[in-house]
Amino acid sequence: MPRGFSVLLGLALALAVVLGADVGKVATMIDFTRGDELWPSINDGVMGGVSSGEMVRSSSGFASFRGTVSFDNNGGFASVRSRPEAHDLSDFDALALRVRGDGKRYGFRLRTATSLDGVSYQASISPPEGEWVELVLPLEDFEPVYRGRVVPDHPPLDRSRIRTFGLLISRQEGPFQLDVARISAVATEPDDGP
């Protein structure tokens, strides 16, 4: 699918999700407002850095991925990742994220393996500062990455084998906060059923 069409599809899906229109099928994967488990941190301390990042629950119920990115000791990233669980998203085309940003750029990551390290699939998000928005990320736009670099010869995302969801901020020094209410899987075609 051409990149321009993916962007238009994402905008159309976001509008449909916000307006409650029938976009086919929507399945809530994670909803922090209903008390879903917060994600543990994996920060640059694993390689000697001193960045801090954690996910905490706000008094309003949503989750906040917050902390400080530092370049000291060759660091520069903070991340959180859900605990491994099998998710088959074969019947879905996109993920819809209800988020509020701080004007910084984040990576939203999917992993098909349960190992701590290795290739993940990433889409970049830059939600506007201080405003709740619904971002729709077509699954075909997730790129394979390893330690911040695209892996061009790696197989595309296998939607049937999603194991973890994650958030990452890198190469942007200073404090950060990304608020997350929920993550849903979205299908663009209505499910007519039998």
C-alpha dihedral, 9 to 89 to 18 to 123, nearest 10°: -60
Q: How far apart are CA 68 and CA 114, in angstroms?
A: 26
The whole-angstrom distance between residue 139's C-alpha and the CA centroid of its chain comes to 11
Going from N- to C-terminal start, the domains of the chain cover: 3-187
More confident residue, 192 or 180: 180
* CATH number corresponding to 3-187: 2.60.120.430
The average confidence (pLDDT) of the chain is 88
Q: Which residue has the tokens 């976001």?
A: 14
Q: How far apart are CA 57 and CA 105, in angstroms?
A: 21
pLDDT over 80 (residue 4): no
Span 129-152, mean pLDDT?
95
**pLDDT the model gives residue 34:** 96
**pLDDT the model gives residue 192:** 55
Beta strands in 58-173 (DSSP E): 63-69, 77-81, 94-100, 106-111, 120-125, 132-138, 143-146, 149-150, 164-170
Lowest mean pLDDT: which of 2-11, 33-42, 47-56? 2-11
pLDDT over 80 (residue 179): yes
